[in-house]
Structure 1
C-alpha cells in the first residue's frame, strides 16, 4: 500500500507543480472577493492558488504515509523521479512542449533506477 501512496503523492506533486506554473500572485491580489461569488472570471485566478494549497497538502499527506513503510531515501528518490517524468510528459502532452530523444533516454534511466530501488526496498 505504501507504494500506491507514493505514486499518489507523485501525482499530487505533478499537479502542484502546474498550479505553480499557472498561479499569478499579482492578479490574485486584485481579486474583488465580494464580486467573486457573482462572476466566474475571478475563479480562473483563484483556481491555481487553491490547487497549490490542495495539491501541496495532498502531496505531503500521501508522501508521509508512504515514508512510514519505505526508507526515506528510497521514497524520496522514487517520488522525485516519478514526479520529474510526470511533469515532462504532461508538458509534452498538454502544453505541446518540444522534446528530444535524448530526454527519453535519460527518463528511461530514471525509470530503471526507480524499478531498482523498488525491488531493493
Structure 2
C-alpha cells in the first residue's frame, strides 16, 4: 500500500509543478476581493494557487504515509524519479516540448533504478 501512496505522491508532485507554471503572484496580489464571485477572471487567477496548495498538501501527506514503510532514501529516489519522468512526459504530450531519443534512454535508466530500488528488500 505504501508504494501506491508513493505513486500518488508523485502524481501530486507533477500536478504541483504545473500549477506553478500558471501561478502569478503579481495577479494574486492585485485581486479585488470585493465582488470576487461576480468575475470569472478572479477564479482563473485563484485556481493555480488553489492547485498549488491542494497538490502540495496532497503530495506531502501521501509521501509521509509512504515513508512509514519505505526507507527514506528509497522513497525519495522513487518519488523524485517518477515525478521527473512524469513532468517530462506531460511537457512532451501537452506542451509539445522538443525531445530526442537520448532523453528516453536516460529516462529508461531512471526507470531501471526505480524498479531496482522497489525490488530491494
Normalised to the residue count of structure 1, the TM-score between the two structures is: 0.98
In structure 2, the partner of 1:62 is 62
Partner Cα separation in structure 1 for residue 58 and residue 34 of structure 2: 29
Alignment of 1:1-121 (within 5 A): 1-121=1-121
CA RMSD of aligned residues (A): 0.7
| Comparing 95-104 and 53-62, the one that deviates more | 95-104
With the length of structure 2 as denominator, give the TM-score of the two structures: 0.98
| Unaligned 5+ runs, structure 1 | none
What is the Cα deviation at residue 38 of structure 1? 0.6
State the 1:43 CA deviation: 1.1
Give the gaps of 5 or more residues in structure 2: none
CA distance in 2, matches of 1:107, 1:21: 22
The size of the alignment, in residue pairs, is: 121
Q: Deviating runs (4+, > 4 A) in structure 1?
A: none
**CA deviations over 1:72-91 (Å, ceiling 9, x no partner):** 00000000000000000001
Structure 2 distance, partners of 1:97, 1:33, is 37
